[in-house]
Structure 1
Amino acid sequence: MADYDLIIRGGTIYDGSGGEPVVADVAVKNGVIAAIGVFTGTAAQEIDAKGRIVTPGFVDVHTHYDGQITWENRLAPSSDHGVTTVVMGNCGVGFAPVRAGDQQLMIKLMEGVEDIPEVVMAEGVPFNWETFPDYLDAIEKRESDIDFAAQLPHSPLRVYVMGERGASLEPPTQADLAEMRRLTKEAIDAGALGVSTSRSFAHQFRDGRPAPSVKTEDQEVLTLAEGLRDAGKGVFQMVPSYDVTATERMDLLKDIARTSGRPVSFTFMQSPRGTDDWQEMLRGLESAKEEGLDLRGQIIPRPTGALLGLELSMHPFSFNPSYKAIEHLPLEEKVARMRDLEFRKRLIAEEPSDPMAFFLYVIADLDTLFVLGNPPNYNPHPQESIAARARAMGVDPKELIYDALLQRDGHEVLYRPLGNSEGERFESSGRHLVNNDRTFPALGDGGAHYSMICDAAYTTYFLTYWVRDAGEDRKIDLPYAIRKLTFEPAFAVGLKDRGLVRPGYKADLNIIDLERLHLYAPHVTYDLPTGGRRLSQRADGYEATIVSGVITYRQGRSTGALPGRLVRGGRDVPQVEGEKALEPA
């Protein structure tokens, strides 16, 4: 009989602590790391990792797989990029709790906020639940390639308690607030990892109405924090408003942390609306630390933005009247119509119209529109924009953008940066945001924005752009980078049993050929329910990914194994004799 279930031999271990690597074997038994050293014993399976790095599995605490987990067993694209645990239910949106008759409202909400096609959700989400504990019971039966945890979202909770008054943004009564507080505690006690809310102007129904959480008063937000305090566990996640000052933003986040007594994290981005306020936000994080508040920023270690094209949700002409007449045609027919000179002239001359102001904002700035390319260039120079090239050629930018959309027979992808990308500024703020003990990488948004954003590959991007391929002016050391992708996000949300390669910890691991690590451009597939489309993004260099001691991916391809399960609530640090627990800064 074999001594272990799996032995990874001779890899260079970056254990997630930020310490220097060691070359050793990793032995796994019963889903946990049994020992690290040099072993002569046997295992049911062995992997030769010589010349490769061995890391903990990556943890992305900001995803939206709430629906996808109900209809399929792979949580891609996250699981294609070394992620072994995801947290969903972010931004205050999700599918539970929901009363009979309100399911369509939740679908419409997710369609607007997270760009998931209505027909996909109507076909794919079973809605075999009402309360949030019911939802957890339903998804606990699901098997997946990676682990997943859920948070209670504010918008569905508000509608569940208040009905149409909640969807119509009416103020809550004291009885409404008391019920939200009670249900928050109930969800946490049942295994919700935390509670989430949003005040982002971008979070709207498709008809332009704000999501139910967006316009709520501070008292209601703090009521959710009181529910966490009542439970004595759980975390709070927020997308703050970037229409207010950084001081106002931080004041509310600190109030949430004080009221709940629990860890709080928030979407922290450099916004084009306030290009320098990241510095004030960092000062606010430091003052929160001095006060003893557990407040941290979730960052994405690359510029983020919308992907536009004829196959995708939008492009600069998609809201023009003439395009609306052809938008549902097959791509080949659409391209043929757009190549008609009379149609082209008419479409270019028209102005866009749509009830969703955020979508119009995305397509409006032609000076920040680029061809993404393959490999993708997420850091283009302003002079590389299509509009800048058009001006240099002496032509109308709309003409050149039109031509770009028709490249590759209509498959071309255009890139519209939306955050962390103000010329040289991201290179400055980026270093400060990544190299900070009060921030950690997240915001992959997997399971959402199927036809507009593909950020779940940020783990691969981080290890290439900021680590392997970086010059000394921006280089992040590999031990620190691995810590930021593993231990820090896991600890921030209370999943303290993973994120380190140490005895007793969950055997979630990656074996990576760092020199061969390569990120391909996103591409469109049609494999959602009803044949719905989504953006996928491949990578080379992930030689193996392991979840609970089971090999789930080899050479970037699924093995078909599904060891991933729902994680109910936080997890304590494994108690192993002789091992000292690691604490974040």
Structure 2
Amino acid sequence: MDLVIRGAAIYDGQGGAPFRGDVAVKDGRIAAVGTVTEKGAEEIDATGLALMPGIIDSHTHFDAQITWDPGCTPSPELGVTSVLIGNCGFTIAPCREPDRDLIMKNLVQVEGMSLDVLRGGIKWDFETFPQYLDMLEAQGSVMNVGAFLGHSSIRTYVMGPAATERAANDDEVSEMAELVRQAMKAGAVGFATSTAPQHNGWGGIPMPSRLADHEELETLVTAMGEDGRGVFMLTKGNTTDVPYLETVAAKAGRPVMIAALLHNPTNPEGTFNDLAAVAAARANGHELWGQVSCCPLYMDFSLKSAYPMEGLNAWKPAMEATGEALKAVYASPEFRQAVKDELAGPAGVRLFNGEWHKLEVTETAKPENKAYDQKKVQDLADAAGKHPLDWMLDLAISEDLETLFMAELLNTDEDAVGRMMADPNASVALSDAGAHLTFFCDAGFGLHLMGHWSRDLGKLTLEAATRELTAKPAAIYRIPERGEIKEGYHADLLLFDPATVGRGPKRRVFDLPGGAPRLTTDAVGVHGVWVNGTKVADAEGATDAGLPGKLLRSFGS
């Protein structure tokens, strides 16, 4: 045996009670579970610790980062052994050389990435989606990686600039459908899109997928499922409600994963209504899932790129401007009034809902303003006798838009979030790892689920939490021989201390291409992470283990 882990409390991923035992690994697979008499080349005494399958993070955006960082930092050290990329359809393949800058600029806006980082980091050794997969496989990775084909990318590839201007014609839809078929044959896990109003590209123009009509969407999803495989994933907007998505599932005969069901205190029953509609669809024999998060959505931002506000139609002039022109937009009374008016109206799908008491000044840029740090915008505005929007914009303009703010946006009601996670039709994910690097870091969502929600709050058992992170997503996405501690399965494993497991506080590091910053978090209570039998992290963090991950290209039906 290459490795024997002895005396652990084994959570096998299926949701049953843990049992004390040993796990042996040979040639990257689990060779024995229970009592192992044979000695291993490496022996680990796991007394007092728990062993589970590695976390499967099904909602990430590592599509760009993985080309320069095959480690997909920081996910492996946070217990993640497999990731799915390409969610929401925001991918970098396929992409013609003349469109590269546009694709990167769109990622800057929609996923909160740095243009300089993308320009300096992405390796463009591909054009088509199959070539992108081949490149990833040749390069290698620390974790196992599966990829969605992205709607916005294939729209841009086929339609060029018109992708953000109009619906596709019949010939263009046919060409896109053929690209979908090619991607599925090459090993895509499925097809992903977004109709969410907050998903805007460069200059505030809607991401290409938002211009698709229902006929286009249904044709592409049906093409995905023609050979009896594939999961359709989307971040939904007002034009794609759950009953409509049930008709898509029925037509294609394939599962539909619906994101992002985050609890909104201004519409407290919205997510529960969606989950009830998902349950009704499942009762009709159609496999729909609601993707939820176990993390509150907090976001750091400056007024140079105010992502929390960009779902507002009135904010569009700010998305079209930079520098002095942007400050002029913010100073405009007409702009300010339009934003106030929209916030006063009913919300559809948006991040910020006018809850100014949940918006904080994190760090001011000028010494004379340091008294504002760590204080709520609502309180500061009240003290100044101003509307909170006016106060925030005035401060930001006075500091050349360098002021840092933190918004508490969604998913902050723990009773409601606990109810959502307990819904049998929900799937816990939405880390967004690889995106929004300067805004937040939820790559440790799995450790947070086990520590905060299971141990600290008791909202679900640890065996239920481990299943939610392992065997359940493996089954949803038809990932074979992963997600369980079972003889013959791939040895993706996480050894941890149930008494301490969790994620540490966020901190800022400067390790992106060009020394650019990102937010990260450290693992707490993690003692070892193995990908295909190779240890990629221990209690000290990431190890220098090479690239043991596999490109996932074969999925079940």
CA distance in 2, matches of 1:128, 1:310: 35
The number of equivalent residue pairs is: 524
Aligned to 1:570: 555
Aligned to 1:456: 443
CA distance in 2, matches of 1:105, 1:512: 43
Structure-1-length-normalised TM-score: 0.81
CA distance in 1, matches of 2:193, 2:389: 38
Q: Is the 8 A contact 1:188 1:569 kept in 2?
A: no
Residue type of the partner of 2:8? G
Residue type of the partner of 1:99? R
| CA deviation vs aligned residue, 1:289-335 (integer Å, no higher than 9, x gap) | 1111111111111221312369997799x979xx957x9xxxxxxxx
| 1:256 to 2:236 alignment | no
CA distance in 2, matches of 1:388, 1:208: 27
CA distance in 1, matches of 2:330, 2:255: 50
Q: Is the 8 A contact 1:311 1:524 kept in 2?
A: no
**Counterparts in 2 of 1:528 and 1:312: CA distance versus 1, 3 Å:** farther
Q: Is the 8 A contact 2:257 2:288 kept in 1?
A: yes
Q: Is the 8 A contact 1:26 1:33 kept in 2?
A: yes
Aligned pairs for 1:494-505 within 5 A: 494-505=478-489
| 1:183 to 2:179 alignment | yes
Structure 1 residue 466 displacement after superposition: 0.9
Structure 1 residue 96 displacement after superposition: 0.8
CA distance in 2, matches of 1:449, 1:107: 14
Residue type of the partner of 1:201? P
Give the counterpart of 1:231 among 202, 227, 232: 227
Give the counterpart of 1:160 among 151, 157, 170: 157
Report SS of the residue matched to 2:175.
helix
CA distance in 2, matches of 1:273, 1:159: 35
| 1:416 to 2:412 alignment | no
| CA deviation vs aligned residue, 1:554-583 (integer Å, no higher than 9, x gap) | 1041111121121113158xxxxxxxxxxx
CA distance in 1, matches of 2:173, 2:302: 43
| 1:18 to 2:15 alignment | yes
Residue type of the partner of 1:555? A
CA distance in 1, matches of 2:531, 2:117: 28
**Counterparts in 2 of 1:518 and 1:286: CA distance versus 1, 3 Å:** closer
**Counterparts in 2 of 1:312 and 1:558: CA distance versus 1, 3 Å:** farther
| CA deviation vs aligned residue, 1:467-502 (integer Å, no higher than 9, x gap) | 11115xxx2111111111111112111113111111
CA distance in 1, matches of 2:308, 2:281: 41
CA distance in 1, matches of 2:150, 2:17: 39
CA distance in 2, matches of 1:416, 1:566: 36
Aligned to 2:358: 368
CA distance in 2, matches of 1:207, 1:95: 19
CA distance in 1, matches of 2:423, 2:140: 36
Give the counterpart of 1:493 among 468, 472, 477: 477
Q: Is the 8 A contact 2:493 2:530 kept in 1?
A: yes
Residue type of the partner of 1:194? G
Residue type of the partner of 2:167? P
% identical equivalent positions:
32
| CA deviation vs aligned residue, 1:529-564 (integer Å, no higher than 9, x gap) | 122221111122111001101111010411111211
Which 5+ residue runs of structure 1 have no aligned equivalent? 328-345, 374-383, 573-585
Report SS of the residue matched to 1:510.
strand
CA distance in 1, matches of 2:34, 2:462: 21
Report SS of the residue matched to 2:204.
coil
CA distance in 1, matches of 2:432, 2:301: 17
Structure 1 residue 194 displacement after superposition: 0.6
CA distance in 2, matches of 1:399, 1:101: 41
Report SS of the residue matched to 2:203.
coil
Which 5+ residue runs of structure 2 have no aligned equivalent? 310-314, 344-349, 364-373
Residue type of the partner of 2:247? D
Structure 1 residue 519 displacement after superposition: 2.5
Residue type of the partner of 1:446? A
Q: Is the 8 A contact 2:15 2:464 kept in 1?
A: yes
CA distance in 1, matches of 2:442, 2:507: 13
Q: Is the 8 A contact 1:348 1:398 kept in 2?
A: no
Q: Is the 8 A contact 1:312 1:451 kept in 2?
A: no
RMSD, aligned α-carbons:
3.6
